[in-house]
Every structure is written in structure tokens, then in C-alpha cells.
Amino acid sequence: MHDLPPHGAADNGSPLDDDFIQLLSESGERMPNAEFDPWVRDIGAAGLAALYDDLVVVRRLDTEATALQRQGELGLWPPMLGQEAAQIGSARALHPDDFVFTSYRENAVAYCRGVGLTDLVKVWRGNAQSGWDPASVGMAVPAIIIGAQTLHATGWALGAQFDGADSVAVTYFGDGATSEGDVNEAMVFAASFQVPVVFFCQNNQWAISEPVGLQARVHIAERAPGFGIPSLRVDGNDVLAVMAATRVALDRARSGGGPTFIEAVTYRMGPHTTADDPTRYRDPADLARWAERDPILRLRRLLDAEGLFTPEFEAATAAHADAAAAELRAGCIGLADPEPLSVFDNVYTTPQATLDRQRAGYAAYLASFESSDTRSSNEGASV
């Protein structure tokens, strides 16, 4: 089918390719880095514990949502298993007045922004096409069209620049999205206007079944400088390195230095969504290698080495995660079905005669099932 040599995960961003910023080794050792250490110097024992708690809670939420899908309570779920550090490390670097534009897998980012747990699953249960009011949490509703949100972030950042605000737009997308025209156009616009935007690419090695080598013959981070945008390639399973890199990018944006591109090299340990079957395209050995790089495991090793991973701490974290999962489950199952006629709501901001006619017709049609005289149901209105 292709003339190109076969692509595999070993081509790019493979476990053997560690040409990236790393502050925490796979075995949990702090790796000194003169350039990036200062950006996480404030993360002491309490900070590390908080990050660990985040990682464990969001993995538990993700697992619970997957279970809810398997039990028929959700129509679909896009697991983030393996990408927790990339999302937590970056999202915990943000200010409340920054604004986030994501794809659909950034549920840990949403958690950090303060999105309600039940709101995370409204879309996937089919109750609504978005779960929250963007203004209330500083996070747009996720874009399902791949890469579309990068332009929205760029436009928002243009507005922030006009307003003289020191707020930053951060947009999340995957390795597959970098092939989309919108992502490339967003980089052209962001560079041209020097707007405060951070392009945060989670290279999780897969776009459904397509390996990253099919999207790019170079590291994805290498593309950005061609647009005039400085880039950072970071170990996406190293929560400290991700936080440091994101803070560097945010600081540059806030101080008028324009956009930055971050490639967080990580791995999607689960399926693309619960409808996917990775056994058809993924080498189990590859998965096993990445399991050794697990983002939670390595932070746990660091905490352990520093004497912070006490039984009490472990129990408290587990209890927090279990409580969050229980809240998610109860909230999900308790979601009321939307009212049938709400299907017509919010198409426009003001009444629209043609649509009102369709609503009235359908309301009469529905009412006919509750009435003894069904003949009057459809009179004079199109259904």
C-alpha cells in the first residue's frame, strides 16, 4: 500500500529514543538538570505528594469510566491510561485565568481545571455534547474534529494579546493531529502574530492504529522551529519534566515571547477508545517496555526513596481515589435523560420560525401518544 519502509513504534519516539528532557528516571531517581530544575524547585515533599495523589486519582477515574462503559452505562470512553503525567504535569502548571483548548482524551486536564466528575462523562453517556460551561473552568469543550481546537487557542491568545492580559492559551492535541492542516495553520498564525499560546502535543505513539512514524519522519518537536516556534521535547511520563517544560513555555508566553511547542513523549497504554482493539496492531512487547516507564510507578519510587511513601499516605491516596470513583459512578448513573424537546434548544440564540414549527409539530406528535385521539397529532405541521 505504501512505498515507504514499514513504520513501527521503534521508528520515532520509541523506548530506545530518549532524546528528551527528563528530571525523573524510570527507576525514580532525580536527574539533575541545570536548565529545568529551577522551574520545579518549589515542588517539595508536599508538592510531590499532591502530584502523586492527582496521578492516582485520575487513573482511578479513568479505570472507573472504562468499567462504566463495559457495564453499559457509557456509550464510549477514551482512556488516557499511561498519559497521566503528561496531563497532570502540564495542567498543574497553569493559572486559573489561562484557557485550555483540548481534544477528547484530556480528562486529567479537565480534572485539574475543576470540572465536576459527573460532567466528565455526560458526553460519553450521550446526555449532552459537552459537560461544562467553558467560562466557569477556563477550559473549552473538547473538540472531536482532530486539531480544530489549536486554531481556537490561537484566536483566544490573539484576543488576550489585544487585551493586554498575561493569560495564556494552552492547546492539547496528539501526534496524529500534527498532520492536520488546522494544526499547521495554527502554528503559522501563532508565529506570525507572536501570540501567547502553548502547543502541547501528547505524542502517545498512536493515532488509533497508526504509529507516529506514519505521521512524521522526524521528531514532532522538530517541526515547530520551521514555523518559527521554539520547541521542547520532554519525557511525557515524567511529571516533573512536563511541569518544568510547561512552566518555561507559559513564562515565555506571559512575557511576550510568543508561542512554544511541547512534544510530550508518552504512550497510550490502553485502546484508542473502548471500541478499539489494539491487539490487532500493537506488539505486546512494546506495551511491556512502556509499562516499565509508567508515570505513577516512577514517582512512587521517588517518594519511596525519600521516605514519603508511608502506609498512611498510600492509604489516604487510595481512599481519595476510591471516593472520586464512587462519586463518578453515582453521578453517571444518576444522570437524568434529557427532555425530548430539548433537542430543539440552543440551535440559535433567538427564536427561529422554521425550527419553532418543527418543534411544535414534533411536540404534537409526541403528545398524540398520550392522547386518545391520535388523528390530531400531525395536523398542519411538518414532523
Partner 1 sequence: MTILDRSPMSPTPMSPTPLRHPNAAGPVGLTDTTTLTLAKAINAGLRQAMLDDPKVVLLGEDIGALGGVFRVTSDLLREFGPHRVIDTPLAESAIIGTAVGLAYRGYRPVCEIQFDGFIFPGFDQIVSQVAKLHYRTQGAVRMPITIRVPFGGGIGAAEHHSESPEAYFTHTSGLRVIAVSDPQNAYSLLRQAIASDDPVLYFEPKRRYHVKGEVEPTLGSPMERAVIVSPGSQVTLITYGALVSTARDAALAAADEGVSIEVIDLRSLSPVDYATVEASVRKTGRLVVTHEAAQSGGVGGEIVASITERCFDYLEAAPVRVTGFDIPYPPAKLERHHLPDLDRILAGVDRVLGR
Residues recognised as catalytic? 268, 272, 281
Minimum CB distance to partner 1, residue 184 (Å): 9
Nearest to partner 1 of 346, 372 (CB atom): 346
Q: Per the structure block, which three cell numbers stand in for 145?
A: 474534529
Rounded CA separation 83/81 (Å): 6
Name the residue with cell 516512577.
298
Listed in order, strand segments (DSSP E) in 236-273 are: 260-265
Find the shortest distance in angstroms from Cβ 154 to partner 1. 5
Give the whole-angstrom CA distance, residue 185 versus residue 149: 11
Check binding of 130 to partner 1 (CB under 8 A).
yes
Q: Which of 36, 52, 77, 101 binds partner 1 (CB under 8 A)?
A: 101
369 binds partner 1 per the rule CB under 8 A: no
Given a contact cutoff of 8 angstroms between Cβ atoms, the answer to whether 300 and 28 are in contact is yes
Using the rule CB under 8 A, give the single segment among 41-49, 108-116, 155-163, 315-323 that binds partner 1.
155-163
Establish if 153 lies at the interface with partner 1 (CB under 8 A): yes
Reading the block at residue 339, the C-alpha cell is 427532555
**Residue 349 binds partner 1 (CB under 8 A):** yes
Task: Report whether 109 contacts 100 (CB < 8 A).
Answer: yes
**Interface positions, 169-188, toward partner 1 (CB under 8 A):** 169, 181-182, 185-186, 188
Does residue 104 bind partner 1 (CB under 8 A)? no
188 vs 305, which CB is nearer to partner 1?
188
Cα dist. 54→50, 91, 110, 297 in Å?
Answer: 6, 11, 12, 13
Measured at the alpha carbon of residue 278, what is the angle toward residues 326 and 18, in degrees to the nearest 5?
A: 95
Answer yes or no whether residue 266 interacts with partner 1 by CB under 8 A.
Answer: no
Helix 84-91 vs helix 239-254: angle between axes, to the nearest 10 degrees?
40
Q: Which of 128, 296, 335, 364 binds partner 1 (CB under 8 A)?
A: 128
Cell of 175: 501526534
- Tell me the closest approach of the beta carbon of residue 281 to partner 1, in angstroms: 27
Q: Does 110 bind partner 1 (CB under 8 A)?
A: no
State which of residues 99, 104, 199, 200 lies at the interface with partner 1 (CB under 8 A). Answer: 99
Q: Closest Cα partner for 357 from 380, 332, 327?
A: 380
Q: Using an 8 Å Cβ cutoff, are 147 and 182 in contact?
A: yes
The site for partner 1 (CB under 8 A) is made up of 99, 101, 128-130, 133-135, 140-141, 143, 145, 148, 150-160, 162-163, 169, 181-182, 185-186, 188-189, 192-194, 345-350, 352-355, 382
